[in-house]
């Protein structure tokens, strides 16, 4: 049974460490399989569009994205090509709660990765998917969106009177 993992925040120094690749022979182990299920459940429960391993204290090159076709796991991702054209978009992050800001990202990219079944894949992504891949891939290098963002704003939670 998958469990919900604790998401670490920007205050934890582990989130700023550069992650290491997962050895190919380890990808199909029960340990990684369990981690993938736990990360997927955590991302969905926390209403995230993506979740990187460093956000749960694991400094390995792995993230999951919630696509329209379900969870897609990116193991040892490498961005091979980025468009020259960039665009601004608003971002937030589960590790930087209630903070949002505009980040300039490449509009289109090509990413190579290993999926949950150990298959090598290459994806051409644009728009929101390209943005999420770049955001999550930044986590693998210890970079948070707030390092690149402008117009940061805090979402205030207000008390609802009964």
Residues annotated catalytic, as ranges: 136
- H helices of the chain, in order, are 24-27, 30-45, 127-140
Rounded to 10 degrees, what is the CA torsion of 137, 27, 46, 51? 0
User: CB–CB of 73/62 below 8 Å?
Assistant: yes
Question: Of 65, 7, 23, 57, which Cα lies nearest the Cα of 40?
Answer: 65
Query: DSSP character for 94?
Result: T
d(CA 28, CA 26): 6
Q: Which residue is it, tokens 């979740």?
A: 51
């Amino acid at each position: 049974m998958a469990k919900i993992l604790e998401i670490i925040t920007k205050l934890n120094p582990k989130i700023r460490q550069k992650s290491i690749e997962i050895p190919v022979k380890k990808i199909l182990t029960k340990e990684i399989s369990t981690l993938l299920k736990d990360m997927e459940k955590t991302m969905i429960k926390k209403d995230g569009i993506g979740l990187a391993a460093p956000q749960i204290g694991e400094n390995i090159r792995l993230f999951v994205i919630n696509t329209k076709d379900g969870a897609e796991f990116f193991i040892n991702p490498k961005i091979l090509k980025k468009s020259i054209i960039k665009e601004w978009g608003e971002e937030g992050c589960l590790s930087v709660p209630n903070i949002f800001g505009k980040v300039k990202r490449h509009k289109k990219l090509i990413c190579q990765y290993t999926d949950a079944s150990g298959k090598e894949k290459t994806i051409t992504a644009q728009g929101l998917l390209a943005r999420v891949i770049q955001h999550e891939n930044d986590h693998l290098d210890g970079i948070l969106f707030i390092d690149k963002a402008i117009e940061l704003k805090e979402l205030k939670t207000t008390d609802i009177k009964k």
